Amino acid sequence: MTDRPDSPPDAEGLARAARSAARKGPPPVHLWNPPFCGDIDMRIARDGTWFYLGTPIGRKELVKLFSGIIRKDDDAYFLVTPVEKVGITVDDAPFVAVDFNPVGEGLEFVTNVEDRVIAGPDHPIRVVRDPATGEPSPYILIRRNLEALIDRKSFYRLVDLGEVAPHDGADWFGVRSQAVFFPIIPAADLPD
């Protein structure tokens, strides 16, 4: 939200609108359909660092506030308030899963902005492998169509919990959470 309807979007106006919306609980950004107001010079790096005008946003509470109003439409990311929608750049995923812990029959992940989800039918884990290098990029769905990149240390811990199980007619190495098997790599591709 900006002070004048004809002024360009800025981080301060977005923060004011996000604070106002957050007073009533998690903002229902998926229900809001404001006009597109242009792009803002805001970027989320692959490591989860948020930048505004090329400078890292150092205030964690401000990053957490902005993370509550992010939305993905098709392949583009936006910060959305009830009155405006601005485009931002996301290098990979908008969140980073920085840790996880076993909770009952599941694995609870926590993100860099303190979202918590238990991997399962509503929060699947997926792994994308780079076709050239084979390097895995693991993700977990956090909310709606927004994912977190699982950081390296957490992924290594996840692999330590892995098992080989049948999946789609072949044996795969993967992990289980809430009775759901999430494949990581075909068992045939595992090193000896």
Mean local confidence (pLDDT), 131-152:
95
Distance CA 154, CA 131 (A): 22
The mean pLDDT of 26-53, rounded to a whole number, is 94
Residue 87 has pLDDT above 60, yes or no: yes
Helix, strand, coil percentages (3-state) for the chain, rounded to 5, are 20, 45, 35
Which pLDDT value is given to residue 2?
42
Structure tokens at 67: 């993370």
Question: Above 90 in pLDDT, residue 49?
Answer: yes
Q: What is the mean pLDDT of the chain?
A: 90
Average pLDDT over residues 140-149: 96
Please, which pLDDT band fits residue 4 given cuts at 50, 70 and 90?
very low
Rounded to whole angstroms, how far apart are CA atoms 44 and 28? 21
Cα dihedral 32→16→71→63 (10° resolution)? -160
Query: What is the signed CA dihedral for 102, 107, 108, 109, rounded to 10 degrees?
Result: 120
pLDDT in tens, 163-190: 999 999 999 999 999 999 999 999 988 8
Amino acid of residue 48: G
| pLDDT over 90 percentage in the chain | 78
Residue bearing the bigger pLDDT, 91 or 26: 91
Q: Give the DSSP letter of residue 8.
A: P
